[in-house]
Structure 1
Amino acid sequence: MAPADAAMYWASQVSANDQFLLFAFSGDEAATCAALVSEVRRRAAAIVDLHLTVETVPGDLDFPRWVPAPVSDDAIVGYPGPYTWDAVLKDVAALSTRSGGDLWRVHIFDRVTGVPDADSLARVAVLQISHALGDGRRVSAIARALFGGSLPEPARDARVAVGDRTLAAVRGGMLVGPHLVRAAALGFAAWAAPVPEATAAPTAATRANTAPGDRRVLRTLTVPSEAVRSGGHSVTVGVLAVLAEVLPAFLDASRREARAEVTVAFGDDSGAKALARNRFQTASVPLHADEVDRRRRAALIAAELAAVRRRVDSPGFVASRHAAASAPAVLGATAARLSADAPQPATVSGWTVVSSVNRGAADLTLAGGRVLFTAGFPALSAAHSLTHGVHGIGDAVTISVCAGAPIADDVDEYMAALSAAFAPAG
């Protein structure tokens, strides 16, 4: 594994960080739940990334490696139903609290009532997948292939230097010192490289920046893309502009301090880092909630995001990613495990996390049923008990909310405020 992917794998062993890609399909077409499972299994057989498992090295003295594996018998699970939409969200919420399980699994809920935008019964398919297998863009491509889209390009994973796990551990132990020296040298180069000045400073923690506990509540709101594109900007900008109107009052916090941590993709770096399946990082983005005009606020947020992207792709940040990738495996494993016990911070770089991915054209199908919308639920952390997913397919954009304690008790109030903010004026 690339270091970034290994970090995701190690983190999954101590806290739940699986990705949940939900797709709702019309369900009038006659097909048994067993037939749905067979159809998805047939498609999974052609996807290289779904024929992998993880082999670790003793003592984490070398990075875990990908090894071939067949699709297991229980990799695609069918639930015949009947279900309600609320029951599906409740079941997915329960799944999201479990850590360290299989690399992936598909859950198919048949005969679901109450699904937004469905005329009658619907079907809901959920790809639960380890973050080690890829970031939001890559796993979205895998999900599209499962439901009729084209196959994703095979990942360019690094070759294993030593095949035997015990010998790899011995070799890794011997190289700890040299790797530390190289990482330190690259770290100094990163410090010396130019980086655009950051525009966002830490802000005081809110009630959304507490440990979420074991409870999870999921909600979704699907709107037309034209309702989101404020002033012709991107969907991501449009959603952030609306969150700026809702979050301060909901969290009883200062509008001037409103910030979100936004996942930002970066381009291919040179060297081994380019092999990583996960090529993103989070960055603090001011929401300019004190600007009352939404279009002007959207323009300000768009400028902030553009500055963040320049910063993420700057020589200094590229060098810092190379330095992190050069650290010994055992150091990365230890850091991932210690992060699970980090104390609650007094300041944060954002009140919430927002992850946004466009999942392409609305041409996916399941047993002849057309895709209605897609959703996703970013994992909670010790510092964030409220996260947002923004996922588009065709002309439908879904804002997904994942909430833990204490936000979970008020999540329906929050969704009502979001819905009102997205409603057309007049």
Structure 2
Amino acid sequence: MFWMSARMPNDTFLLYGFDGVPADLDAAIGALITHAGTSPDLNRRVADGSRWRYPRWVPHQVGTGQFIVHDLVDTSWRGCLAAVSALVDDQLDATVLPWRLHLFVGVQGVPGTVDDATVAVLQITHTLGGGGRTCGPAAVMFGGSASVDPVAPEHAHPVLLPWRSVQAARTYRQLMRDTEAALVPPPAAPCTPLRTNASPVGRRLMRTVTRDRAQLCGTTVTVAALSAISEALAGQLTKLGVEVGELGAEVTMAKPGPRRAYNHFGTVGVGLHPGLLDEQRVDAIAADLADRRRRAAHPAMRASERAFDATPARLLRWGISQFDPSVRSATVTGNTVVSSVNCGAADFAFGGRPVRMAAAFPGLSPMVGITHCVTGVGDTITLSVYAAESAIGDIDEYAQRLEFAL
């Protein structure tokens, strides 16, 4: 993730809305610094001084310079989201500053709040993980009870690469045989690129739709969100004159087994089935996710990772340097990206002001102009959208479609 960030920016942005404004902002920030000092993840940066070695973590002390208080011209919730969107272009250099916290005070209309609210946005290097990992250290910084398991990345000696490559090839052939015998689901079919897969241009905006968990009963939060996205995206694209047919989503999915890396996940293609009725669509999406999990659990996947772990650093560094993000593809994994983040219990606060909602915003890429994330804290679920005007047209109209679908 660190080396790829030079080719395609990938900072993670986690947003938290707190009900009220701290009486003493400086004291509240001081408490954050104290709590952050107890998190190993928040007290390190990347060192990458040798082309022959992998990057490594070195100590980095939390400082006041990592906390930025912004003055909003427009203090509405929409104005705050516009300011957050403007932060995306200022990416972190993980060798200097691995994360920073942006604070917006006196925001009006934050979902779940009554009066003026405080919005905190954690911008953190993806080298430390996506939202599913970094929400743990974030909760610790805000005084929550989250426990964050340590990670010990695996790098095998390069001399093992030939043998592990042979093992990977053998288990891959077994995967092919198991697939032909219907013992393992086949890989997801690729999607045809649509307007949402064009290189994003125009305004880039963020929107959110917030619900209580009980309003999404009958299925998992992720499946409910995918079903709503299917209906809303198909409707919006059809209005824009796009022949939808089938839709698919590129969904992040945790890898099976113990965590072996900060980014312990992969991406899978999941059909969105816009032509089905609600209940049928929910069942079809859930079945697709189950198939992807079954295939990901095959021993061939772990064997491939073990071979990758033995790749010499210089070879992998060279390979990533050859990646050209501007190259267009004839097929895509999905017509949008959907992530799911569980931030755990709503047991943390900022300056005594309780957390009411959380959201995350996966970045756009040359092949994906609209992304979604379903984020939960306590019993509050937020479905966030980050989109370029070229991908979706009127984002407010699209957000209304999402609200209706949910």
Alignment TM-score > 0.5, same fold? yes
| Per-residue CA distance 1:300-346 (angstroms, 9 max, x = gap) | 21111111111112111122222222222223223334334341222
Identity %: 36
Correspondence 1:206 to 2:198 = no
Residue 350 of structure 1 deviates from its aligned partner by 0.8
Closer, same or farther: CA 211–140 of 1 in aligned 2, 3 Å: same
Equivalent pairs counted in the alignment come to 392
The partner residue of 1:280 within 265, 269, 274 is 265
Aligned to 2:83: 91
Residue 98 of structure 1 deviates from its aligned partner by 3.0
Closer, same or farther: CA 98–346 of 1 in aligned 2, 3 Å: farther
Closer, same or farther: CA 417–156 of 1 in aligned 2, 3 Å: closer
Of residues 252-261 and 107-116 in structure 1, the stretch that sits farther from structure 2 once superposed is 252-261
Closer, same or farther: CA 116–250 of 1 in aligned 2, 3 Å: same
Aligned to 1:188: 169
| Per-residue CA distance 1:163-205 (angstroms, 9 max, x = gap) | xxxxxxxxxxxx86x4653463244134223262325311210
Aligned to 2:314: 330
The partner residue of 1:108 within 75, 98, 103 is 103
Closer, same or farther: CA 250–183 of 1 in aligned 2, 3 Å: farther
Native 8 Å contact 2:199 2:366 kept in 1: yes
The code of the aligned residue for 2:13 comes to: F
Aligned to 1:68: 59
Aligned to 2:222: 236
Tell me the secondary structure at the aligned position of residue 185 of structure 2: coil
Alpha-carbon distance between aligned partners in 1 of 2:325 and 2:315, rounded to the nearest angstrom: 16
Alpha-carbon distance between aligned partners in 2 of 1:9 and 1:368, rounded to the nearest angstrom: 35
Alpha-carbon distance between aligned partners in 2 of 1:340 and 1:100, rounded to the nearest angstrom: 21
Native 8 Å contact 2:132 2:340 kept in 1: no
Correspondence 1:9 to 2:2 = yes
Native 8 Å contact 2:33 2:64 kept in 1: no
The partner residue of 2:12 within 7, 16, 19 is 19
Alpha-carbon distance between aligned partners in 1 of 2:329 and 2:354, rounded to the nearest angstrom: 44
Residue 268 of structure 1 deviates from its aligned partner by 2.7
The code of the aligned residue for 1:53 comes to: R
Correspondence 1:315 to 2:315 = no
Native 8 Å contact 1:262 1:283 kept in 2: yes
- Structure 2 matches for 1:130-169, cutoff 5 A? 130-150=125-145, 152-158=147-153
Aligned to 1:171: none
- Structure 2 matches for 1:236-275, cutoff 5 A? 236-252=222-238, 253-254=242-243, 256-268=245-257, 274-275=259-260
Alpha-carbon distance between aligned partners in 2 of 1:239 and 1:205, rounded to the nearest angstrom: 21
Residue 80 of structure 1 deviates from its aligned partner by 5.6
Closer, same or farther: CA 217–201 of 1 in aligned 2, 3 Å: same
The code of the aligned residue for 2:284 comes to: L
Native 8 Å contact 1:391 1:397 kept in 2: yes
Residue 263 of structure 1 deviates from its aligned partner by 0.5
Closer, same or farther: CA 183–327 of 1 in aligned 2, 3 Å: farther
Closer, same or farther: CA 151–247 of 1 in aligned 2, 3 Å: closer
Residue 100 of structure 1 deviates from its aligned partner by 4.3
Residue 57 of structure 1 deviates from its aligned partner by 3.4
Native 8 Å contact 1:186 1:322 kept in 2: no
Aligned to 2:327: 343
The code of the aligned residue for 2:249 comes to: A
Native 8 Å contact 1:355 1:378 kept in 2: yes
Gaps of 5+ in 1: 1-7, 162-174
Native 8 Å contact 1:37 1:78 kept in 2: no
Closer, same or farther: CA 151–122 of 1 in aligned 2, 3 Å: same
Native 8 Å contact 2:362 2:372 kept in 1: yes
Aligned to 1:170: none
Alpha-carbon distance between aligned partners in 2 of 1:212 and 1:160, rounded to the nearest angstrom: 36
| Per-residue CA distance 1:198-230 (angstroms, 9 max, x = gap) | 25311210111022258531111111223323x
Tell me the secondary structure at the aligned position of residue 406 of structure 1: helix
Alpha-carbon distance between aligned partners in 2 of 1:278 and 1:199, rounded to the nearest angstrom: 22
Of residues 19-28 and 73-82 in structure 1, the stretch that sits farther from structure 2 once superposed is 73-82
Tell me the secondary structure at the aligned position of residue 257 of structure 1: coil
Alpha-carbon distance between aligned partners in 1 of 2:212 and 2:227, rounded to the nearest angstrom: 16
Residue 160 of structure 1 deviates from its aligned partner by 9.2
Aligned to 2:68: 77
User: After the TM superposition, which parts of structure 1 deviate over 4 Å for at least 4 consecutive aligned residues?
Assistant: 158-161, 253-256
